[in-house]
A and B are shown apart, each in its own frame.
Chain A
Amino acid sequence: MKKIGVFVCWCGLNISSTVDVEKASEELKNYPGVFYADDYKYLCSDPGQELIKKTIVDNKLEGIVVAACSPNMHESTFRAAAEAAGLNPYRVEITNIREQASWVHSNKEDATAKAIQLIKSTVEKVKKSEDLFPQQIPLTKKVLVIGGGISGMTVALEVAEAGYPVILVEKEPQIGGNMAKLSETFPTLDCASCILTPKTAEVGRHSNITLMTNSEVIESTGYFGNFTVKVKRKPTFVDWKKCIGCMLCQEKCPKKTNSDFEHGMGKRKAISVAFPQAIPYRPIISEKECIYFKTGKCKICVKVCPVDCIEFEQEEKIIEENIGAIVVASGYDLLPKEELGEYGQGKYADVIDGMQFERIASASGPTEGVIKRPSDGKIPKSIVFIQCAGSRDNQKGRPYCSKICCMYTAKHAMLYKHQVHDGEATIFYMDIRAGGKGYEEFVQRAIEDDHVLYLRGRVARVYEEDGRLVVLGVDTLSGEQVRIEADLVVLATAVIPSIGAKALGQTLKVGTDTYGFFNEAHPKLKPVESMTKGVFLAGCAQAPRDIPETVSQATGAAAKVITMFSKNHLVSDPQVAKVNEKICVGCLLCKPICPYKAIEPEIVEVRVGCRAEKRQVATINKGLCQGCGACSVACRSGAMNLSGFSNEQILEELKSLCL
């Protein structure tokens, strides 16, 4: 029989007023296996912990029960105290007699009886406890960042500056993400490329950052500290190492097509670089449009290239990398206009979305910053902006607020008014949400200084009449119908997860919410961690947000990675699954149950009588196992168990509670 100590806490009056703690400790003194029992005013205080330590040492205790508040409060405190006294911390268990007895029952007799029974059952659990030791897990100090928007770049730069190697994978040929497409940024109206270009350039030249653009992560195996990922490097058809970035090819290429970067507002060539400040500043051939790929003739680029770097025969490459942590920074896309029937379903050229407006307002965009409407290039005399297009709309399955539209719509209206002083800018809004430093003032400036007309209400329909766009809505403040003829309509379409986010989540085994945004491990306390250990989140991949918030969150994710890398190895929680190889029959019924893919078959040598025999059993990857215990239930032979919450421990607790 083990020598067990029981400590009953008064918690001042919190416990002692409804639970007779002295009676409890008296009664426990006579309970089988209990060598020592006492009660104390505040066990979590320094003298309380000292008492526990001294008692463990003096009595050579082999296990203790602390009957006090919830283990969520002080389990770690008491386990640390025991460890300091030389007792394995996993031989310490807490009985929760505050949240589960004194605070929820009023009858002292009942509460005391229940508390005593709870303590006894914990004593039974401790009798079945074992020494557990955290395992050391090796660690590869290299991070993979997925997505080269402002969030991914921020993470990459922070971690690289801390001295660790970074691999930045971006699916587009260049980094910068959506921010690279913006004109000027709220709330200061400084130009986006002026603040972004120094960052992209720094990422491009940092010696600790390996940039893999035009690439995607297609596989990830392993576990925190030790992932192996496969990156698909799509062909660019240009040898970027040889290329000097003269862009003669782009200049001479005869094939023009719509530019994705310009969101249909501008053109590009079949061989092109997205924009003049792109990093890397290297062209790529679009297989879909290139004349040579279609007809086998042309090759003008080959002729003009001074360094002979066009490679039509280039193929995709798969690269394998070992890394220790992953940061998902895959950003956002906008809800396609085609999904918004009431606003013309994308069939009117002059109904555009916010990002298209950014492009025509951008000094380096297709109109060189002159706001012209797409249909005929005329300067619009009247623009209607419609907020919450698809957001906060239960029927469209997007009940959430996209968070940035109120601000960028105010910005758009201001930019327009600064150019066309006598133009009319009208904004339909549901509410104005301008929470942020300098944000409310910004919106007020739009209203007061720039005379933007804000109308509260939903727009019922946008349609064309005699060649003009008509916006039909209700001003809910006056209750009147409003009909506005507009030259241009700008929809603040809902921010949605980047296309392919769900698939990326599946590849990385990281959960996404119903919309496809990545799930954080805890909405308040772990906003940058994902549910999968070693995988962190940054930026709009997790939820819609603006640049300042994106940068702060990305810096937080980087800090998490740097903290992880500051150690030489990782330590795993020992409360994980374990297999009794003697009785495991190797059926692997447990394997598909594990949400973390921690169970693998292994061939081991087992002694059967005097013979050694080779057979298959299940093994647990202690780095992957998170200790949920689901596998232990699936195992029919009783071979799978969970340390810290073992079958034996739970059954003993249970039996004692049923008495």
Chain B
Amino acid sequence: MSVEFKPNIICFACNWCSYTGADMAGTSRMKYPATIRIIRVPCSGRVNPTFVMKAYQKGADGVLIAGCHPGDCHYNSGNYFAKRRFLLATRFMTFLGIDEKRLRMEWISAAEGVKFARVMREFSETISKLGPNLRAREEA
């Protein structure tokens, strides 16, 4: 039997809402798989699609971009940019043959600890089912 696949998932979380939502999940002691690693960014609009591509190249199996709900971005419009870039990135992924389910975008507010944990569980499951991302991975 092969070793159990433990996915490696990167989550970009905006400082004002989603990162604080993750804090909320923590203070409420909600559980989610240890497969997720969060990178704090000031705003989801800070996430460059090249970061996402780089993640797949370097061995990430899934990438999640989490920002404030529409209308709630601390900088007003960052999450709208993020959404557009996200759509662009998914198209590019299909082009490269990476399953677009490996990229997900979510609006998670600072109060939504429950949602944060739920999304992490769901996404971790999706990626586990998809298996390791071998397609874009750079050979070391």
Contact = CB atoms under 8 A, between A and B. Distances in A.
A33 B34 CA distance: 26
Given A72-B23, A99-B26, A657 B39 contact: yes
A604 interface: no
A595 B79 CA distance: 12
Given A98-B26, A595-B75, A628 B46 contact: yes
Interface in A206-246: none
Nearest to A659: B59
B55 A642 contact: no
Given A650-B51, A654-B10, A531 B76 contact: yes
B64 to A, nearest CB: 13
A593 interface: yes
A72 B20 contact: yes
B81 A633 contact: yes
B34 A113 contact: yes
Contacts of A634: 81
A437 interface: no
Interface residues of A, number: 45
Contacts, number: 119
Instruction: Name the prevailing secondary structure of the A interface residues.
Output: helix
A223 to B, nearest CB: 15
A651 B51 contact: yes
Given A117-B37, A645-B41, A650-B41, A655 B30 contact: no
A658 to B, nearest CB: 4
Given A105-B31, A595-B77, A633 B45 contact: yes
Interface in A584-616: 593, 595-596
Interface residues of B, number: 41
A479 B117 CA distance: 46
B37 A645 contact: no
A89 interface: no
Interface string A612-640: 00000000000000111110111000000
Given A98-B26, A99-B25, A111 B51 contact: no
A123 to B, nearest CB: 14
Nearest to B14: A628
A71 interface: yes
A626 B75 contact: yes
Give the most central of A72, A100, A110, A113: most B CB within 10 Å. Answer: A100
B93 interface: no
A391 B75 CA distance: 30
A653 B32 CA distance: 22
Nearest to B81: A630
Interface of B: 8, 10, 19-20, 22-23, 25-27, 29-34, 37-43, 45-49, 51, 54-55, 58-60, 74-78, 81, 85, 117
Given A113-B34, A511-B76, A595-B76, 16 more contacts: A71-B40, A99-B23, A99-B27, A103-B26, A103-B29, A104-B117, A106-B31, A121-B37, A575-B42, A596-B75, A629-B41, A630-B43, A630-B46, A654-B55, A654-B58, A657-B60
22 contacts: A71-B40, A99-B26, A104-B25, A104-B30, A104-B31, A105-B31, A117-B37, A511-B76, A593-B81, A595-B75, A595-B77, A628-B43, A628-B45, A629-B46, A630-B43, A632-B46, A633-B46, A645-B41, A654-B39, A655-B54, A658-B8, A659-B58
